[in-house]
Amino acid sequence: MSEELQEQRLIILDTETTGINPREGHRIVEIGCVEMVNRQLTGRTYHVYLKPMQNGMQMVMDQEVINIHGLTDEFLRDKPQFHQVAQEFIDFIKGAELVIHNAKFDIGFMNHEFSMINGLPMTEDICTVTDTLQVAKDEFGSPKTLDYLAKFYKVDKLVDRTYHGALIDAQLLAFVYVEMTRKQSALDLSAGDGHQEGTDANAIRRLPENRTKLKIIHATADELEEHKKRLAIVAEKGSEPLWQH
């Protein structure tokens, strides 16, 4: 894996909104981001609640929407408006690759918010974007919800999702993303440093037929027993070894 890829900065992002269509005046009420570098969570997050405004007044959300994310009009009343946090939000995500489930939805809302503030760029000018909904479609043959993927990859119990909060869903998506892209972290099986003159770094390198045979070391009876005990512990935790999938 190249050094450039290893140092790639990912921002796993999710939003909660007042509705489903920004063109109808709906706004973002929560943004949650978690940072990953080299596919590892760094502990850095960006999280903010926002007061949704329309025509100079706070929007009143439908109860159906409140039931989804658990954010009430009263709770959001003293929260900042998007334009008050826009620059710090941009500073956090700038230059990163955004990882979003159903990115069209979140990017649509983000660009709507940016467009209402003079001089701010669009999301595509700030970051690159990976849509895990599309990744799931490529992997499974059809789009899958975040809930489905979390259960499939056995990470659904890692966070409490009583409500679909943005930061909570971003944290869950981070676990899903690591699992669903794990096979992309391929080993470099080429011999040498790949820079020898007149050689193809990606070519298959074969060992000579007259090489010394490798010694086969079998597990002892005690080691086999310890292995069975370890598998039993894994089973008790509701999981199974990767080779049994």
Give the catalytic positions in this structure: 164
Torsion region of 239: left, alpha or beta (phi above 0 gives left; psi -120 to 50 gives alpha): beta
Rounded CA separation 200/203 (Å): 5
Tokens of 3: 């050094």
Nearest to 94 by CA among 119, 123, 120, 131: 123
Which three-class secondary structure state does DSSP give residue 144? Answer: coil
Where helices occur in the chain by DSSP H, the ranges are: 3-6, 63-69, 73-76, 82-93, 103-115, 123-126, 132-140, 146-152, 166-180, 221-236
Residue-by-residue DSSP string for 63-121 = HHHHHHH---HHHHTTSPPHHHHHHHHHHHHTTSEEEETTHHHHHHHHHHHHHTSTTPP
